[in-house]
Each structure stands twice: as structure tokens, then as C-alpha cells.
Amino acid sequence: MTTTRIPVLAARGLVKTFGRVVGLDGVDVDVYAGEVLAVIGDNGAGKSTLIKCLTGALVPDAGTITADGAEVAFRRPQDARDAGIETVYQTLAVAPALDVASNLYLGREERRPGILGSVFRMLDTPGMRSRAEKAVRDLGIDTIQNITQPVESLSGGQRQAVAVARAAAFGSRIVVLDEPTAALGVKESNQVLALIERLRENGLGVILVSHNMPHVWQVANRIHIQRLGRSAGVITPSSHTMAEGVAIMTGAAAA
Amino acid sequence: MLGLTTDEPGGAAAELERRRRAPAQRAQHLLHSHPALSPAIILLLTCVAFTLLNDRFAAPAALSLLIQQTAIVAALAIGQTLIILTAGIDLSVGAIAVGSSMLAAMLAAEQGVPAPIALVIGVAAGLAAGGLNGLLVTRVGLPPFIVTLGTLSVFTAVVLIYTGGQSVPGADLPDLLSWTGTTFPIGDFRLTYGVVIVALMYVVVGWALSRTAWGRHVYAVGDDSDAARLAGIRVNRVLFSVYAVAGLIYGLAAWVLIGRAGAASPNAIADANLESITAVVIGGTSLFGGRGGILGTLLGALIVQSFAVGLSLAGVDDQYRLLAVGVLVIAAVSVDQWIRRVRA
């Protein structure tokens, strides 16, 4: 945990417009290490736009983003990834026919040391498999028994676990999860929520975008409410009830 | 799903379902993890059957011929496999290979360009033609089918205009260009240097596909290009490289083609497009991308050619070869669909 309370990721005055449509209208957000910040809001409130700006999928028109106090400019997702920010997309972004280990290392494969790697470009498949196995074990994901099985043979919750494991294995600052429980049943949702808590225990900052209020109130430390492209306030599960949160989200009440 | 989740078996119904589905599941997983398995079995059965019909099929002479005849389609089908793995298709295969062979042959025979330089220019033309396909697919964003349908006509026309429809006879060709047709003995077998070149191409591309990050990205792009992009893979760069590498492969295949034919003709390998796609499909590579490999393609090409050699040795009309190949193609795609269905 940080003692100085410098946010691991912070944004000030983010603006993003799409033609005449205003996606973000000057939004501030702070995420600290070892906390789960939930982002809630109605459809069109700017949740996705905010997340995309924080993960490099969109470039904001105005505003600044800082990582551990230093200003950063994300022009593409790879930039955010290089800064230790990993995203679990709603579509999961896994290649179904590839196995679990290949998916964990997709886009950042590691090569064999020496001439096999440098000249013959040979992948370090055994190394990646064992490290993938360790990453999965460290997260306590016991539902994935075989790291060499193709992802398409997994259930929805297991696929989600693969995507979360990938983010956790490479994210050194922040893991962003976009609607991670939307497609899951009760049991699988609970497994993913347990994973989120484990990421927090490991000292990562977690941004959780969700429509599911019980899930948000269950795991979030703080809740950022988006409304009409602006921040309508930041609350905590103890300061406000779910109903009060929803009231702020819909504009029926002020924060 | 079964045997892979941690969910407890539900009860009698689940148990019955498990028992009923287990063999199919196992077969599906076997075929999934070894896509070359079904073409290997088919090739084995084909060879056994033709040997029973006429034992000359298994003689070194016939097998040597089989391998030599397979070489060109097998070479072209490597490039076709790469493109189909990315969920694309290449209809300009034959046109590029013929173009490369005619360019090298005309430069050497009529412009007096030294043979090695003519050969390099010919192969480079294949690379450039493949690169053009790649640019049109990635930059202009056209579907591969349309791009290569267009370049098929364009390349064919350019070659006919450039050559005036005339062949370059073998007597005019420098030794280097027809070197690929030179045979050498291995025991009772007679192979050509062209066969060795094709074998080397299989080794190199096979390595690249299975052992390098590039290979894994080719599969990922074909499997789900959106997922690949979000995972940080530069999808367009991968796609472009696949089309360019395919063009290079066609250029090298053109060299093998000159040696095999003993001359360079603008009307050679008219069926190359369909034959290369047939080899890929029978070889178990999915037309939907992301699934398959070049070992299967090699087996697929051998299956098609073994039908040609075996049926002619058995004294059967060549039309039956077409019939058998047609049935095989449909069967192969059915198996692919089945693999995709059972997993769900």
C-alpha cells in the first residue's frame, strides 16, 4: 500500500467528443494501488469512453493522465500496456483455437535464449507454459486444470479467468475489467469477484466497470458514478446504499 | 465441456450423456489437437487400396513419379495454407507462379540477362505480386476473395501481353532455371532438386508456423482478428506478411515449375488455384481460419496426386479422379464443421 497516497493512475479534465456528441466532459478520476474502483453509470454516460481513454484505446481531446504522478500519453493500447495497465475486454479478446498458455502470452511471446531465439526466432514454449501455469495457480484459479487445452473448450467463467489471469500476469499497476460478470452465472460470477479481490490483495489497482450493483457493492472500495459525460460523484459502499447510488446515477439525487 | 469443468456430475442423466458423448468428444479432441491426423489416415488407406489394386503403385518408380508430380501443387499450397489460416483465400496463386516463371525465362532466354539475376527477379516478382495482394487486403480493406479474383485476371492478362502468349522452349533456357527438374537417385527412388526445394520450404514454413511468434499470430489473426488486435498483435502487419510470404513461395514454386515442365509456358498449371485450395482443404485446414497446418496440406496434395497415379495404374478413366477428389473435399469440410460443432 502506498503511504503517500499518490494515485497509481489519475486523470484530470478528460474531454472526448465524437463529432457533436460529447463523450467525456471534463472528468477526473483517481485509482490507488490496492483498491477496487468501480465505475457505474447509465448507458451513454461515458463509462466506456472513460475506460478507453485510460487504456489507450481512445486518445482524449483534452486532459492529462498520470501514472504514479508522472504524466503519460497513451496513443494506442500498447502504450498503456507498457505502463503496466492491462485491460480485460468484455469480448475477452482470446483466440479460441489457441491453448490457455498461448493466449496468456498472445502478443508478447517469449523466445528461447541464445541462437535458437535470436536467429531461428524459436518460441520458449515450455517456459511460457510453466510461467502461465504459475500465473494461473498464483491467482488460485483451480477451474483451469490443463494449461494446454484450447480456450474454446472452456466454459464462460473459465475463459473470463484466462483473460483475468493474462491481465494479472502482466499488469504491474492497474487491471481494468469491463463488465466481467455480465455473461456469467451466479457461481462463475463469484469466482470472478474472488479473483478481483485477489488482484487487490496483490496490490494492484482495479477498475471495475459494471452494471451489476450487487457485485459493485460487494467488491468496490470506492464507486465513481458517471452521468451524462461528467463525474456525478465518488461514493463508497458504506457511505451510500445501492438505491442511493442508482439515484445519483440516474440524476434523481445529487451525490 | 465434459471432463474439463470442475462441476460435479449431475446424476444419472449427466452420466448417460457423458457415456454417450465421450467417444465423439475424444475423437473431436484428437482431431482438434492433430489436424493432420485425418488426411494421414486417408492417405494411408488410399495407398493401401491402390497397392491392392495394382502392386506397381508401391514400386519406387510410381512413388517417385507421385512425389515429383505432387511437388508443384504442394509448393503452391504452402502459400495458400498461410492465407487460408488467416481466413482468406488466394485465387491468384497460379497467375503469380506462371508470371514469375515467364519473367525469369524471358529475361534469361530473350533479354540475355544472366540466369541467377533472371531467377532472382522472377522470384522477387512473385513476392511483389503477393505484396500487392496484401496491400489491397490490408490498406484498401477489400475481402481477399475479391482482391485475388481481380489480381488473377490482372496478372494473367499482364503475362499474356508480356509474352504474347508464346512459350519459352526448354532449349532456350539456361541450365540454372531447369536445374530443378534434374533427377538424382536415392536408392531405387528418383527425385528432382525441385522436390528438395519444396521439402525445404515445408521445413522452413512449418518451423515458422509452429515455433515462432509470427506463426502464432497468423493463427490468432485467422481465429479472431479483433481479439488478436486487442491482444496487441498488429493484425495488418501480420496479414501483409502472409500475402507477401505466399507470393515469395509462389515465385520459388515457379522455379520448380520450369524444371518440371522443361519449358516456360504462359498456359501452364491452369488448375493451380483449385488444386491448391483442394490440397489445403483435404489437408484439414479450416476455410474459416485459425485451424490447420502445412503438414496436412502436404498430405492433402499427396492424396490428390495418389488418386491420379493410382487410378491410372488401375486402368480407370481419369474422370473418376475428379469425382473422388470432389467427394473428398466435401467430406473434409464436413469433418471441419463437425469439429467446430462438437466442441460447443
pLDDT tens sequence across B246-280: 999 999 999 999 999 999 999 998 889 999 999 99
Do residues A56 and A49 lie in contact, with contact meaning Cβ atoms separated by under 8 Å?
A: no
Do residues B100 and B123 lie in contact, with contact meaning Cβ atoms separated by under 8 Å?
A: yes
Residue B185 parent element (H or E): strand B183-186
CATH 1.10.3470 fits B37-342, yes or no: yes
Q: Rounded to a whole number, what is the distance in Å from the CA of A197 to chain B's nearest CA?
A: 21
Whole-number pLDDT of residue A62: 95
Mean pLDDT, to the nearest integer, of A220-240?
94
- Break chain A into its structural domains and give their ranges: 1-84+173-255, 95-170
How long, in residues, is chain B?
A: 344
Mean pLDDT, to the nearest integer, of A36-49?
92
The answer to whether B235 contacts chain A (CB < 8 Å) is no
Least confident segment among A31-45, A93-107, A139-153, B88-102: A139-153
Tell me, rounded to whole angstroms, the distance of Cα B172 from its chain centroid.
30
Q: Give me chain B's average pLDDT, please.
A: 90
ipTM: 0.82
The answer to whether B61 contacts chain A (CB < 8 Å) is no
Mean pLDDT, to the nearest integer, of A194-215?
93
Interhelix angle B294-313/B193-211, rounded to 10 degrees, is 150
Place of cell 466435401: B330
Whole-number pLDDT of residue B36: 85
The answer to whether B216 contacts chain A (CB < 8 Å) is yes
The answer to whether B214 contacts chain A (CB < 8 Å) is yes
Whole-number pLDDT of residue A2: 44
Nearest to B231 among A93, A97, A121 (CB): A93
Whole-number pLDDT of residue A3: 54
pLDDT in tens, B36-80: 888 899 899 999 999 998 889 999 999 999 999 999 999 999 999
Q: Does the pLDDT of residue B175 top 50, yes or no?
A: yes
The answer to whether B5 contacts chain A (CB < 8 Å) is yes
Q: Give me chain A's average pLDDT, please.
A: 89
Give, as one character, the DSSP assignment of residue A151: G
Residue B183 parent element (H or E): strand B183-186
Mean pLDDT, to the nearest integer, of A30-39?
95
Contact B4 A97 (CB under 8 A): no
Please give the residue that has the higher pLDDT: either B221 or A165. B221
Q: Does the pLDDT of residue B2 top 50, yes or no?
A: no
| Nearest residue on chain A to B342, alpha-carbon basis | A153
Mean pLDDT, to the nearest integer, of A7-33?
94
- What's the pLDDT band for A31 if we cut at 50, 70, 90? very high
- Break chain B into its structural domains and give their ranges: 37-342
* CA dist., res. B309 & res. B315, Å (int): 10
Whole-number pLDDT of residue B344: 45
* CA dist., res. B78 & res. B206, Å (int): 9
Q: Does the pLDDT of residue B6 top 70, yes or no?
A: no
DSSP reduced 3-state for A71: strand
* CA dist., res. A29 & res. A200, Å (int): 18
Contact A93 B212 (CB under 8 A): no
Closest alpha carbon to A34 in A217, A242, A219, A158: A219
Whole-number pLDDT of residue B254: 97
* CA dist., res. B143 & res. B121, Å (int): 29
Whole-number pLDDT of residue B11: 66
Contact A123 B211 (CB under 8 A): yes
- CA separation, residue A160 to residues A135, A195, B264 (Å): 14, 10, 56
Closest alpha carbon to A139 in A92, A85, A222, A204: A204
Q: Which of chain B's residues have a Cβ under 8 Å away from the Cβ of A94?
A: 224, 227, 231
- Name the superfamily (CATH) of residues A1-84+173-255: P-loop containing nucleotide triphosphate hydrolases (3.40.50.300)
pLDDT in tens, B113-172: 999 999 999 999 999 999 999 999 999 999 999 999 999 999 999 999 999 999 999 999
Contact B231 A95 (CB under 8 A): yes
Whole-number pLDDT of residue B21: 66
